[in-house]
Structure 1
Amino acid sequence: MPFSFRIATWDGTTRVITLGTFLLLGGITFSIVSGGEIEALDIFILFLVWGPLAITWLFAPRGCLVSREGIVIRRAVGSFTIPAAEVESVELVGRVRPGIRLAASGGLFGWFGLFTLKDGGTAKVYATRWDRMVRIQTTGGDPYLLSPAEPEAFVGTANKVLLEAQPDVEARK
Structure 2
Amino acid sequence: MNEFKTASMDGTTKMITIVIVLFLIIFPILSFSFDPPKPIISITSMILMYGVIIISYCFVPKRIALSDNQVLIKNLYGSVIINLSDIQSFGKIEKTGLNLRTFGVGGLFGYFGYFNGGDVWYVTNTHKKVKIILNSGKVYMISPESPDDFLTHLKQRMEE
- CA shift for structure 1 position 156: 0.7
- CA shift for structure 1 position 136: 0.9
- Give 1:76's aligned residue: 76
The verdict on how the C-alpha distance between 1:38 and 1:161 changes in structure 2, with shifts beyond 3 A counting, is farther
- Structure 1 residue identity aligned to 2:69: E
TM-score (norm 2): 0.86
Gaps of 5+ in 2: none
Contact persistence 2:69–2:157 (CA under 8 A): no
- CA shift for structure 1 position 60: 2.1
- CA shift for structure 1 position 30: 2.3
- Give 1:169's aligned residue: none
Name the stretch that deviates more: 53-62 or 149-158.
Answer: 53-62
Contact persistence 2:73–2:79 (CA under 8 A): yes
Contact persistence 2:104–2:114 (CA under 8 A): yes
**SS of equivalent residue, structure 1 residue 74:** strand
- CA shift for structure 1 position 143: 1.8
TM-score (norm 1): 0.80
- CA shift for structure 1 position 38: 9.2
- CA shift for structure 1 position 3: 0.7
Q: For residues 77-100 of structure 1, what are the alpha-carbon distances to aligned partners after superposition, in whole Å with 9 as ceiling and x for unaligned? A: 222111222112232232241321
Report 1:13-162 matches (<5 A).
13-32=12-31, 39=39, 41-116=41-116, 123-162=119-158
**SS of equivalent residue, structure 1 residue 114:** strand
Distance in 1 (alpha carbons) for counterparts of 2:41 and 2:128: 45
Distance in 1 (alpha carbons) for counterparts of 2:47 and 2:10: 28
Distance in 2 (alpha carbons) for counterparts of 1:84 and 1:163: 10
Contact persistence 1:61–1:110 (CA under 8 A): no
Gaps of 5+ in 1: 165-173
- Structure 2 residue identity aligned to 1:49: M
**SS of equivalent residue, structure 1 residue 98:** coil
**SS of equivalent residue, structure 1 residue 162:** helix
Distance in 2 (alpha carbons) for counterparts of 1:111 and 1:53: 14
Q: For residues 44-68 of structure 1, what are the alpha-carbon distances to aligned partners after superposition, in whole Å with 9 as ceiling and x for unaligned? A: 3211111122111111223411112
Q: How many residues align?
A: 158
Once the two structures are aligned, what percentage of the paired residues are identical?
A: 28
Q: For residues 105-153 of structure 1, what are the alpha-carbon distances to aligned partners after superposition, in whole Å with 9 as ceiling and x for unaligned? A: 111110111212xxxx863221112223211111121321211100111
The verdict on how the C-alpha distance between 1:162 and 1:23 changes in structure 2, with shifts beyond 3 A counting, is same
Name the stretch that deviates more: 22-31 or 6-15.
Answer: 22-31
Distance in 2 (alpha carbons) for counterparts of 1:99 and 1:49: 25
